[in-house]
Chain A
Amino acid sequence: MQATLGSRVRGNDFMNPAFSVVFLTTLCGLGQGLFVMTLLGHIIGAQPRYLLLGSTLAFLLAAFGLIASFFHLGRPERAWRSIMQFRTSWLSREVIALPVFMGLVVLYWLALRSGSDSALVIGIVAFAACVALWICTGMIYTCLAFIQEWASPYTMANFILISLASGSTLALCVALFSDWGLVHLLAYLSVLLTISAGLVRGASLLRNAQLKPKSTLQSAIGIANAKITQRSMGATGGSFNTREFFHGQTMAFLRSIKWLFIALTFVVPVLLLVIALNGAPSFLVLFAMLAQAVGLVFERWFFFAQARHPQNLYYQVVS
């Protein structure tokens, strides 16, 4: 008995994205970006309503991200253990940085509420935690050297720029309801950041398209013959290895997701914002935000789905 993995054919052997992690990274990124824009408003003297609304939403988004992360765990009741190995593990560091960031945002909010002068100082400390969280999240993927699609400075740059871009678009929506004085600045900022994020994401797509896998079937089994074909992976059914590291989608499906996320995350929001800036009704901004939010989910799904894991060399044929 021999069959390929259904539609899972060679050349299409990439990781199966987990929606828990997709939502963890997009929601936290959105919350972080929004918080940075809130703090920016604080520095240039925005209305307290904008600051309170912005920091509340930023906290909620990070909290939803944290909740999403629990769905990734086989044993969520032991999640507290994941703070133990901060000396070596970027994942452990992220698990610490995220609640610290959330806690500081709450403190910032409380200081704003009470009209305390220390609000700005707390906000700046929260910003430091926000940067630390970006670095941890980015390094979780960058440090896996043999997942070549991720092991690049682009991973971190993308996470940060997309977080700032989507955060500023959301901050613009918040400003529409709380502080019109910020609307123009945030709209220009959102256009600028979305274009920068789009350019860097485009560059990373080009880089990944030219990657040559360092591992080959020859290095995987250590036999120097140009022609090696797998005849059996040692199991007639699937295994963890085939479920976790193969998404089973066609190349055409992958391509359409790619163009969809490019359109929704970058092109559509910029167009809508430019139209809105030229005198069109301001509700277009809400559509820009919604398009970008949906696009982000596709973007992150694609980020995972594009990762080619060398273990897949050992799992090419069922039988």
Chain B
Amino acid sequence: MTQLALVIDLNVCVGCHACVTSCKQWNTSGSAGPLLDANPYEKDPTGTFFNRVQTFEVGEYPDTQTVHFPKSCLHCEDPPCVPVCPTGASYKRKEDGIVLVDYDKCIGCKYCAWACPYGARELDEGRKVMTKCTLCVDRIYDETKPKEERKPACVMACPTNARLFGDIHDPESEVAKAIAERDGYQLMPEWNTKPANHYLPRRKTEWQQAAEASLSGLGERR
């Protein structure tokens, strides 16, 4: 069974937000319908985004790292948002595992957002329906596009190639290999939602490895 997903490489994400803006651009002009963009130049700008890049500081000075952390719907294999939906507007596609919202069936009760531990769903306050990442379902199957462009907009936009896209159930896929080889992990495993999206952890640079090796070498000599 196919399970499409994103694999996000935290080792190379530079926090440029290109995935955020390309996502908004594609989805606000695509079949997802317009996404709210209220007060863009005023005091309290707000709006709907399917993808956000957050920034965390990890560690204590001077040993700190800045981690840029893109977050969108994780297309869980056991999505808690789907069974709670009273109308069936929230569903998970059997053929490719994408979790979607049927905007024509959604009544805007927000129960699915309560049921998502990741805050991946945002009620569009313009259209009053729940919205979320579609993995650019209206793009990845578009046969009018050249094959190499049949990827989510965020993946196309990423300048550092921090976003991989593919079928995590296919062991030969780029994403499955990346998860296996680089210890790809899931967010909040404690709730057994089995997110399809995975994250690749930071890696130590050769310089760091060399420095640590020489330090431990010093320790041995003493």
Interface residue stretch chosen among B58-66, B161-169, B212-220: B58-66
Question: In the complex, are the beta carbons of B57 and A85 less than 8 A apart?
Answer: no
B137 at the interface (CB under 8 A from A): no
Q: How large is the interface on B (under 10, 10 to 19, 20 to 34, 35 or more residues)?
A: 35 or more
Tell me the residues in window 38-53 of chain B with beta carbons closer than 8 Å to chain A beta carbons.
Answer: 39, 44-49, 52-53
User: Given the complex of chains A and B, what is the CA–CA distance between A239 and B48 in angstroms?
Assistant: 7
Question: In the complex, are the beta carbons of B129 and A75 less than 8 A apart?
Answer: yes
Q: How large is the interface on A (under 10, 10 to 19, 20 to 34, 35 or more residues)?
A: 35 or more
Tell me the residues in window 82-122 of chain B with beta carbons closer than 8 Å to chain A beta carbons.
Answer: 82-89, 105-111, 113-119, 122
In the complex, chain A residues whose CB is within 8 Å of the CB of B190: 214-215, 219
Question: In the complex, are the beta carbons of B129 and A143 less than 8 A apart?
Answer: no
Say yes or no: A229-B191 contact (C-beta < 8 A), given A240-B125, A311-B117: no
Residue interface bits A279-319, CB-to-B below 8 A is 1, else 0: 00000000000000000000000000000011110110000
User: Given the complex of chains A and B, what is the CA–CA distance between A85 and B83 in angstroms?
Assistant: 8
- Identify the closest chain B residue to A314 (Cβ): B119
Q: Report the 3 A-B pairs with minimum CB-CB distance, sorted nearest first.
A: A74-B108, A311-B119, A74-B128
Q: Which residues of B contact A (CB under 8 A)?
A: 17, 20, 39, 44-49, 52-60, 66-67, 69, 71, 80, 82-89, 105-111, 113-119, 122-123, 125, 127-129, 185-191, 199, 201-202
Q: Which residues of A contact B (CB under 8 A)?
A: 15, 72-76, 78-79, 81-85, 88-92, 95, 140, 143-147, 214-215, 217, 219-223, 225, 227-241, 244-245, 309-312, 314-315
The 24 sampled A-B contact pairs (Cβ below 8 Å) are A73-B107, A74-B129, A81-B87, A81-B88, A89-B83, A89-B111, A92-B86, A144-B80, A146-B117, A214-B190, A222-B199, A223-B202, A228-B58, A229-B56, A229-B57, A231-B55, A231-B56, A234-B20, A234-B53, A234-B55, A237-B44, A237-B45, A309-B114, A310-B188
